[in-house]
């Protein structure tokens, strides 16, 4: 009977969001430890850029690309259960198709940014077409979120170019790469994905993590992942819009853009003249080309 009553109480608490949410966010939930305000110009994330957010040891930023999608609801439920918040880089046309999910992301307190309108490899497009796709994506995301979207942007496939980066700086749109990823473009079980990601996170100790809320395996993995972050003492940092570039840390000596090497391997070309790159680290060579 006691158990039943507890269950009913838990279900009621879960059903009431907003004000009730704060009451259910006890010390057992992951929560959000702090926010970092990010304004332009900023090009962040060591997979692509030689600098990233100045995160402390065991601080993690969660980002989800390519949504909204039907699987996004499960991601949002997992985040809410842990009072956790993330940033969603939405494809404009997906946001236009599923604005109700975008509105829920905003209502939950998550940060919403854009990821182009059509998910084209923008580097390969003529400059005007690429900026038109960026602008259309940002407008669609902002409309779906009733004007509550951030100006945060992530390039599809991290396929930027110097001219496009300058265009984003001019638009005061901070550009996010990532520090580590779950490789969830590869088919694997949620357990395998969890082990892969936690292994990378333990080695990196902190960073901006790239996931995809469009992937069922990621949605299924998320509750265990958030619980594991809490159990291992990781703290969640939420990125929010700001007026100035954030405090940053520089890449270690000998840094190379891993995404540049991957794009080259995929044959994605454009106006950017990449400096010569050596091969990917052995571990990453086993990772097929990302479809981000």
Look up tokens 């580590």; give the residue: 180
Query: Is residue 90 at the binding interface for Zn ion, with CB under 5 A as the rule?
Result: no
Which stretch, 48-56, 63-71, 142-150, 258-266, contacts Zn ion (CB under 5 A)? 63-71
Query: Is residue 175 at the binding interface for Zn ion, with CB under 5 A as the rule?
Result: no
CB closer to Zn ion, 263 vs 292: 292
8 Å CB contact between 85 and 110: yes
Query: Is residue 142 at the binding interface for Zn ion, with CB under 5 A as the rule?
Result: no
CB closer to Zn ion, 83 vs 138: 138
CB closer to Zn ion, 63 vs 131: 63
| Residue 157 Cβ vs Zn ion, minimum distance, rounded to whole Å | 7
d(CA 109, CA 231): 24
CB closer to Zn ion, 46 vs 292: 292
Exposed/middle/buried for residue 103 (C-beta within 10 Å: 0-12, 13-18, 19+):
middle
| Residue 150 Cβ vs Zn ion, minimum distance, rounded to whole Å | 17
Q: How far is CA 155 from the centre of its chain?
A: 11
Q: Which DSSP string corresponds to 67-110? A: ---TTHHHHHHHHHHTT---EEEE-HHHHHH-HHHHHHHHHTT-
CB closer to Zn ion, 140 vs 292: 292
8 Å CB contact between 244 and 216: no
| Residue 163 Cβ vs Zn ion, minimum distance, rounded to whole Å | 21
Distances (CA, A) of 59 to 30, 105, 154, 184, 262: 12, 22, 21, 21, 27
Exactly one of 59, 66, 133, 184 binds Zn ion (CB under 5 A); that residue is 66
| Residue 156 Cβ vs Zn ion, minimum distance, rounded to whole Å | 5
Exactly one of 60, 75, 197, 292 binds Zn ion (CB under 5 A); that residue is 292
Query: Is residue 160 at the binding interface for Zn ion, with CB under 5 A as the rule?
Result: no
Which stretch, 17-25, 155-163, 177-185, 255-263, contacts Zn ion (CB under 5 A)? 155-163
Are β-strands 180-181 and 175-176 bridged in parallel, bridged antiparallel, or unpaired?
A: unpaired
Q: Under 8 Å CB-to-CB from 283, ≥6 apart: which residues?
A: none
Query: Is residue 193 at the binding interface for Zn ion, with CB under 5 A as the rule?
Result: no
What number of chain residues touch Zn ion (CB under 5 A)?
Answer: 4
Sign of the dihedral through C-alpha 236, 240, 242, 248: positive
Binding footprint of Zn ion on the chain (CB under 5 A): 65-66, 156, 292
């Amino acid at each position: 009977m006691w158990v039943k009553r507890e269950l009913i109480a838990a279900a009621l608490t879960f059903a009431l969001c907003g004000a009730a949410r704060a009451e259910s966010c006890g010390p057992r939930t992951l929560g959000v430890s702090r926010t970092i305000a990010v304004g332009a110009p900023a090009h962040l994330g060591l997979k692509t850029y030689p600098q990233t957010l100045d995160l402390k040891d065991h601080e993690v930023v969660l980002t989800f690309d390519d949504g909204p999608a039907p699987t996004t609801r499960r991601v949002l439920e997992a985040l809410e259960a842990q009072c956790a918040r993330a940033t969603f880089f939405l494809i404009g046309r997906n946001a236009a198709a599923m604005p109700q999910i975008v509105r829920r992301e905003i209502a939950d307190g998550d940060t919403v940014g854009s990821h182009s309108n059509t998910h084209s490899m923008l580097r390969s497009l003529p400059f005007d077409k690429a900026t038109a796709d960026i602008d259309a994506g940002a407008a669609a995301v902002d409309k779906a979120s009733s004007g509550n979207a951030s100006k945060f942007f992530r390039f599809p496939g991290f396929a930027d170019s110097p001219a496009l980066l300058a265009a984003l700086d001019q638009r005061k749109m901070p550009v996010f790469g990532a520090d580590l990823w779950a490789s969830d473009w590869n088919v694997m079980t949620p357990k395998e994905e969890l082990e892969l990601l936690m292994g990378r996170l333990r080695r990196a100790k902190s960073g901006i993590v790239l996931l995809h809320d469009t992937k069922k395996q990621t949605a299924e993995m998320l509750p265990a992942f958030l619980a594991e972050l809490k159990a291992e003492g990781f703290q969640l940092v939420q990125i929010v819009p700001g007026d100035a570039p954030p405090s940053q840390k520089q890449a270690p000596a000998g840094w190379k853009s891993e995404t540049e090497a991957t794009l080259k391997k995929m044959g994605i070309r454009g106006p950017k003249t990449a400096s010569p790159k050596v091969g990917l680290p052995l571990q990453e060579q086993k990772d097929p080309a990302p479809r981000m």
